[in-house]
Structure 1
Amino acid sequence: MTNPSIHATAIIDPSADIAEDVEIGPWTLIGPDVKIGAGTKIASHVVIKGPTEIGCNNRIYQFSSVGEDTPDLKYKGEQTRLVIGDNNIIRECVTLHRGTVQDRSETTIGNNNLLMAYVHVGHDSVIGNHTILVNNASLAGHVVVDDWAILGGFTLVHQYCRIGAHCFTGMGSAIGKDVPAYTMVTGAPAAARSINSEGLKRRGFTKDEIAMIQKAYKLIYRRGLTVDEAVLELKASLADYPCLQPLVDSLELSSRGIVR
């Protein structure tokens, strides 16, 4: 019996594991080793290649390329994956590449993310939850974007960089170093400007928490301390202000140095 939620022109490999209520538009191609969870809607002219696992209640718009081989020259056709969580919106012409065996063998996208038109997520990258990547934001390979970060349009992120939780990047930012949690950066090359105070207000941070985060920002950027020295001072305040933990974590996990 024909599934009425799958258009007759869709091309679906028999081995694909697709939940019964998934909607698939015309001329979409779904290859082998693809799993798609319940409630997901896929528009027309989408290409999904495996191994790829897509969770529940996602929306994938037309002309997106999901789970394609990475163009990284070290990739030689090894078995790698793309894993996408639940409740994500993937807009027009987004490109999401699988991983490489030289790193994680997996590109990972969490839950409740919005990837706007022409966003690119390179191999082995990790996107957390509740992030927004605005039109044409591009992640090179091995990039980490933590929860609630917002990347402005045409933001470019160099490989191996980490974008901390609740960060905000201005349009056209070119990021070549790690961005600590809560920080707002702009420019090419990107420079730290302030904390993302408006974003923190919208997410329910208290006035005291925001004031403490602002104080921590000044400690990092205005006092001439090394990152290690700043971390030691921030840790002394963690008991009273646990909101500083993501900032401490992002500083301690930094491998490329932080945007200044």
Structure 2
Amino acid sequence: MYRVSKLRSSTIALSSVLSLTRFSSSFSESSFVHPTAIVHPNAVLGQGVSIGPFCTVGSSAKLGNGCRLNTGSHIYGNTELGERCVLMTGAVVGDDLPGRTVMGSNNMIGHYAIVGVKCQDLKYKPGDECFLDVGDNNEIREHTSIHRSSKSRDRTVCERAENVIFCRVIGNNNLIMGSCHIAHDCKVGNNNIFANGTLLGGHVVVGDHAHTAGATVVHQFCHIGSFSFIGGGSVVSQDVPKYMMVSGERTELRGLNLEGLRRHGFTSTEITSLRTAYRRIFMPVDEDVRGFEERLAELEQDEKLANVPAVCYMAQSIRDSFEESRRGICKYRHWTSS
């Protein structure tokens, strides 16, 4: 059993901290809790946890082994951190709301980042459960804000382990640079890079290996396809299909994200096939009077290209963007072969 220590807190107003003590009721001898930290006795701390000066850990918090809270960082509400998570100075994780915030292992939350707090959506009703579930190995840099869902149990990307289903709003291995914002009900996959000042509106869906340059703004309900690239200062108001590169004040397709495809191991055959498919859809010859839908259907029936999985994924990504609840794809220039 772990030894329990309680310190006097004469310098703190007792009326505001009746349920708090300076130490957790359960921590190992190798853990460190600074005397000025306030840790609720019901909080659960794993082995080797380090809690620095002026930190706060709430009653329902669970910290995995090796977590580290730097000066002035705080964990509120029903919040669970996996192993070896780090909160930098001023970081806040969780909120005293129904629902919960769950983070996997090896996540870093930067200076003054805010993760798992109440959304900024007027349709959220006080008392409703709201959630944020984050995977492993994410780096969330300074002044970033990531909000909980606006609707009860609005979570996707489910995985099953030991007969329990875990759902994640943000996947694994994402780099979210400084001053980014991920709003309510977003779904973010794995291995994405959001450069400084990237702003995602509510209900945005991002695939895997997408990359935004700085000061990118994405309109609510848009979908950003896997392996896509968004140029700096862009305003995305419609879907970006898989493998595409877009930019502009109102984004236009600028071609395939060729450099990104090469870096992620796409073969020369796959890239050549994708380029051929792109030209057929978006760069018809002068005399081609067929409509967009006809060109896309013809591509899907092409015996050679239809056997290349990457081409099929791209075509399906484009087609999905025109479903009833979707916003269509970004504008594209009607290039010709001349």
Q: Distance in 1 between matches of 2:293 and 2:201?
A: 25
Q: Which residue of 2 aligns with 1:38?
A: 83
* Matched residue type, 2:139: I
- Pick 1 or 2: higher relative contact order, CA cutoff 8 A, min separation 6: 1
CA distance in 2: counterparts of 1:183 and 1:103, whole angstroms: 32
**Residue 159 of structure 1: how far off its partner (Å):** 0.6
RMSD (Å), alpha carbons: 1.9
1:116-169 deviation per Cα after TM superposition (whole angstroms, max 9, x unaligned): 000100110011101000000000000001100001111110011001010000
Aligned to 1:157: 218
Distance 1:127 1:238, change over 3 A: farther
Secondary structure, counterpart of 1:201 in structure 2: helix
Contact 2:299–2:305, Cα closer than 8 Å, also in 1: no
CA distance in 1, matches of 2:312, 2:176: 27
One-letter amino acid of the structure 1 residue matched with residue 149 of structure 2:
G
Contact residue 80 and residue 105 of structure 1 kept, 8 A = no
1:243 alignment partner in structure 2: 310
Q: Does 1:253 align with 2:320?
A: yes
Q: Aligned pairs, how many?
A: 260
Partner residue in 2 for 1:230: 296
Tell me what 2:109 maps to.
Answer: 60
Q: Quick one: distance in 1 between partners of 2:150 and 2:194? A: 23
Q: Per the alignment, in what secondary structure is the counterpart of residue 20 of structure 1?
A: coil
Deviation string for 1:187-212 (max 9, x for gaps)? 01000011000011111111111111
Among 245, 252, 256, the alignment partner of 1:191 is 252
Identical amino acids, percent of aligned pairs: 35
| Matched AA of 2:329 | I
TM-score (normalised: structure 2): 0.73
SS in 2 for 1:109: coil
2:179 to 118, 136, 145: 118
Counterpart AA for 2:314: L
> Partners of 2:71 and 2:213 in 1: how far apart?
32
Larger of the two Rg values belongs to structure: 2
Q: 1:245 to 1:89 in 2, by over 3 A?
A: farther
In 1: Cα distance, 2:103 partner to 2:220 partner: 24
Stretches of structure 1 that go unaligned for 5 or more consecutive residues are none
1:93 corresponds to which letter in structure 2?
A: H
CA contact (8 A) 1:180 1:247 kept: yes
How many Å separate the matches in 2 of 1:80 and 1:232?
44
Measured in 1, the distance between the counterparts of 2:276 and 2:79 equals 47
Counterpart CA distance in 2 for 1:100 and 1:145 is 18
Residue identity opposite 2:328 in structure 1: G
SS in 2 for 1:124: coil
TM-score (norm 1): 0.94
In the superposition, relative to structure 1, how do residues 48 and 235 fare at CA in structure 2: closer, same or farther (>3 Å)?
A: farther
Mapped to 1, the partners of 2:291 and 2:209 lie a distance apart of 27
Structure-1 separation of matches of 2:135 and 2:309: 27
